[in-house]
């Protein structure tokens, strides 16, 4: 029976089949994610969609099988197809979003649960020691006393970032500073992390970490990188914060510090959800006012604009010496070239 069914790609322009996909997802209590880059379906002899699944980046999502066909192995066929698609893309570390009642199916396939949200969504990965290994490595950096956390993209590291770190570090015995690892910014992760480490090197109680795929990544929070304010998915923020809660428990973090965000709707939604969710698990959230100079907040987007314009004096006024020295060096030429070609550099 299973061999009779074929998994086929659904093109975004195929409005009829995509409409059937939406109808099936809705019937199964799932809303199609706005962030998808591949969708497939299984159809019956009358071309009715009876099963569907999708990808975004290295995640599998929007998986559903018509209730009349459940138990016939269609979900397994979908997952096999989607994993093949991911492997062809070169993605071997995979993540899955699924409903709570489907989680056991993926666990039986070898996926491991990372976190769940509101009893409605489960987030899993296909590595037995992925998140568990990440937590163990973090645990090795735990120190006695109070602990806080800051998460930043630092694209690039500015005096505003430095101000946030100083305020946070003064309030706790140890500050765990997570640099977003996703390489979706104009300044590459390797450079961003290096500039953060150089910019906080004098603060003995600050420990710098890579966020990996577990904090503000395309797996946990794609809205952050797509910068599509209209399509901001609050569920992504809740998932990211649910994962962070497990990380915080491993490090004994009871305070999280965030910069005030008056302009970015995406970050604003994230901060609001954080302020709602983290106190419920005993983590206090501190919203730190932006550092200002000349009556304007110091922001990375202002620095990127200045770099694009070749205005190094403005850059010098807004960043630590270590950040300025990098951008004034020959080593920064490839990064500066990317910034010059980027057009609008504000929303990176």
CATH number for the domain harbouring residue 277: 3.40.50.620
- Coil, helix or strand at residue 83: helix
Q: What are phi and psi of 333, to 5 degrees?
A: -50, -45
Q: Which of 240, 252, 172, 175 has its CA nearest to residue 212?
A: 240
Give a yes or no: residue 83 inside a domain.
yes
pLDDT at position 344 is 81
Judgement on whether residues 267 and 142 belong to the same structural domain of the protein: yes
Picking from 107, 130, 153, the residue at the C-terminal end of a domain is 130
CB 155 within 8 A of CB 323: no
Q: Are strands 292-293 and 174-179 parallel, antiparallel or unpaired?
A: unpaired
User: Residues 278, 297: one domain?
Assistant: yes
N- to C-terminal Cα separation, the chain: 49
pLDDT for position 86: 96
Contacts of 232 (CB under 8 A, 6+ apart): 223, 265, 266, 269
How far apart CA 78 and CA 7 sit, in angstroms, is: 7
**Same domain assignment for residues 171 and 27:** no
What is the C-alpha separation between 157 and 99, in angstroms, rounded? 38
Q: What is the pLDDT of residue 218?
A: 78
Range of the domain at 164: 137-341
Burial class of residue 113 (count of CB atoms within 10 Å of its CB; 0-12, 13-18, 19+):
middle
Q: CA 88, CA 24: separation in Å to the nearest integer?
A: 27
Chain segment 115-174, per-residue pLDDT in tens? 988 777 889 999 989 999 999 999 999 999 999 999 999 999 999 999 999 999 999 999
Query: Do residue 93 and residue 158 come from a single domain?
Result: no
| pLDDT value at residue 34 | 77
Residues 6+ apart with CB under 8 A from 190: none
Assess whether 22 and 53 both reside in one domain.
yes
pLDDT score at 229: 45
Tell me how crowded residue 82 is: count the other CB atoms within 10 A of its CB.
Answer: 23
Tell me, rounded to whole angstroms, the distance of Cα 245 from its chain centroid: 14
Is residue 91 located within the same domain as residue 229? no
**8 A C-beta contact, residue 186 and residue 156:** no
29, 57 Cβ separation under 8 angstroms: no
Residues 321 and 194 in one domain: yes
pTM of the model: 0.89
Q: In this predicted model, what pLDDT tens digit does every residue of 234-246 receive, in sequence order?
A: 778 888 999 999 9
pLDDT at 295: 86
User: What is the pLDDT at residue 94?
Assistant: 95
Residue 348 falls within a domain, yes or no? no
User: CA separation (Å) from 99 to 28, 158, 159?
Assistant: 10, 40, 42
The three-class DSSP label of residue 141 is coil
The two tokens of residue 202 are 């004098």
CA distances from 133 to 93, 147, 275 (A): 14, 21, 28
DSSP secondary structure string for all residues of 174-200: EEEEEEP----SSS-HHHHHHHHHHHT
Flag whether 303 is in a domain. Answer: yes
For residues 9 and 93, membership in a common domain is answered with yes
193 and 327 part of one domain = yes
State the pLDDT at residue 230: 42
Q: 142 lies in a domain?
A: yes
Same domain assignment for residues 308 and 169: yes
The angle, 0 to 180 degrees and rounded to 10, between the axes of the packed helices 130-139 and 234-251 is 50
> In this structure, are 151 and 214 located in the same domain?
yes
With residue 237 as reference, give the H or E element that holds it: helix 234-251
Residue 177 lies in a domain: yes
148 and 260 together in one domain: yes
pLDDT < 50 regions, the chain: 229-232, 348
Last residue of a domain, one of 69, 97, 130: 130
Look up residue 57 and give its DSSP letter.
T
Domain count, the chain: 2
* Residue after which a domain boundary falls, among 99, 130, 161: 130
């Amino acid at each position: 029976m299973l061999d009779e069914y074929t998994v086929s790609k659904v093109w975004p322009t195929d409005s009829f089949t995509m409409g059937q996909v939406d109808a099936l997802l809705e019937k199964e209590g799932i809303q199609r994610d706005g962030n998808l880059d591949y969708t497939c379906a299984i159809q019956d002899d009358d071309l009715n969609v009876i099963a569907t699944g999708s990808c975004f980046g290295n995640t599998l999502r929007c998986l559903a099988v018509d209730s009349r066909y459940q138990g016939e192995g269609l979900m397994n066929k979908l997952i096999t197809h989607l994993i093949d698609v991911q492997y062809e893309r070169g993605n071997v570390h995979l993540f899955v979003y699924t409903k709570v009642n489907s989680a056991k199916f993926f666990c039986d396939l070898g996926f491991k649960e990372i976190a769940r949200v509101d009893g409605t969504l489960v987030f899993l990965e296909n590595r037995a020691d992925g998140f568990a290994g990440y937590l163990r490595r973090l645990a090795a950096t735990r120190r006695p006393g109070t602990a806080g956390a800051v998460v930043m993209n630092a694209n690039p590291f500015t005096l505003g970032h430095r101000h946030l770190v100083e305020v946070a570090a003064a309030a706790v015995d140890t500050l765990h500073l997570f640099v977003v690892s996703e390489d979706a910014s104009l300044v590459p992760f390797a450079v961003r992390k290096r500039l953060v480490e150089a910019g906080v090197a004098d603060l003995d109680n600050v420990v710098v970490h890579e966020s990996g795929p577990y904090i503000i990544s395309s797996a946990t929070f794609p809205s952050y990188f797509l910068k599509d304010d209209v399509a901001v998915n609050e569920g992504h923020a809740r998932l990211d914060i649910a994962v962070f809660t497990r990380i915080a428990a491993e490090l004994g973090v009871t305070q999280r510090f965030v910069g005030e965000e008056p302009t970015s709707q995406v970050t604003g939604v994230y901060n609001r959800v954080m302020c709602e969710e983290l106190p419920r698990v005993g983590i206090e959230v501190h919203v730190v006012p932006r550092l200002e100079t000349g009556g304007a907040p110091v922001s990375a987007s202002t620095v990127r604009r200045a770099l694009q314009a070749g205005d190094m004096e403005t850059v010098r006024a807004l960043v630590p010496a270590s950040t300025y020295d990098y951008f004034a060096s020959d080593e920064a030429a490839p990064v500066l070239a990317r910034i010059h070609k980027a057009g609008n550099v504000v929303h990176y």
